[in-house]
Amino acid sequence: MMSVNVLSAIATIVKSPIGELKSFYTSRNRANSMGDALENYIMDVFANTLDETNEQRRLEIIDQIFSYKGNQNNPPDMIVRQGDAIEVKKIENSGAALPLNSSYPKAKLYSCSPMITKTCRSCEDWKEKDILYSVGVVNDEHLTKLFFVYGIDYAASAEIYERIRTVISSGIEEITDVELAETKELGRVNRVDPLGITYLRIRGMWHIENPAKVFSYVYTPVDNSFEFTAVINNEKYYSFPSNDRLVLEKMVDGSFNISDVKIKTPDNPAVLKGAKLITYSR
């Protein structure tokens, strides 16, 4: 039996692909929007509960598999118990960038991050987790593309983003004749008007190019009704149990493939590292 990780999730996607996500999840009263449906789908492929029609039983399984289920305002969307954090992103066309709002992209998730909730911080005894970005392209009610990539292969180290954030915040603090307030955002100016009743919030709105575009040098999209792609660096791939890797590798056929590629290191693109490119289409 495969354990619960990204490899078992990929095996479930290949064995039981579901294109019409919204109708599938609204028929079971589990989602009101495509965003909800995509998030439920990712949860179900990790928990292997796609075929579970008893909602109480499904919730019990999900409770066993996940230590945290988040909200839209704070990353991550979910955490596999003693495993990876998962951030789910929905876009409407394959060329669109991912909106991250006030949270910059993460190579890793740290329990000390001010962007996560207290509940997330205390859901397990943990200090750092690998974070998997699950990016779905939806067209009407259909999931047409799904891309898995770990933050370590996708985003730069935190200090890269923090340096930019600090420079901007410091610049705001140097503005004269304004009343600044403490904030977790880039800045806040109080008492803007003569009555002192108006304030200005200065927020960062981060975006990152979607992984299909970022990894276009190793991956060529197909025009089928559904396409799944994953990029997993070799160190991470070989950290999973050998049985899980063997089960997935035995599934390779004409529509499902695992190939060796070299990908750029986000902090230094001149350095390449080995990775697995996993693709499936139908």
- pLDDT for the residue 277: 98
State whether the Cα torsion 146-151-153-155 is positive or negative: positive
* Bond preceding residue 76 cis, omega within 30 of 0: yes
CA proximity to 135, closest of 158, 117, 155: 155
Do 118 and 161 meet the contact criterion of CB atoms below 8 Å apart? no
- pLDDT for the residue 126: 97
Tokens representing 22? 């919204």
Tokens representing 42? 């990712």
- Residue 237 has phi, psi (to 5 degrees) of -60, -45
- pLDDT for the residue 32: 65
- pLDDT for the residue 259: 98
The type of residue at 91 is I
166-to-85, 161, 171, 204 alpha-carbon distances in Å = 26, 9, 8, 12
For residues 73 and 182, give the distance between their C-alpha atoms in angstroms, rounded to a whole number.
20
For residues 1 and 279, give the distance between their C-alpha atoms in angstroms, rounded to a whole number.
22
Neighbours of 71 (CB within 10 A): 10
pLDDT under 50: residue ranges of the chain:
none
- Residue 211 has phi, psi (to 5 degrees) of -60, -30
- pLDDT for the residue 2: 65
For residues 168 and 101, give the distance between their C-alpha atoms in angstroms, rounded to a whole number.
16
Give residues with Cβ within 8 angstroms of 270, minimum separation 6: none
- pLDDT for the residue 28: 65
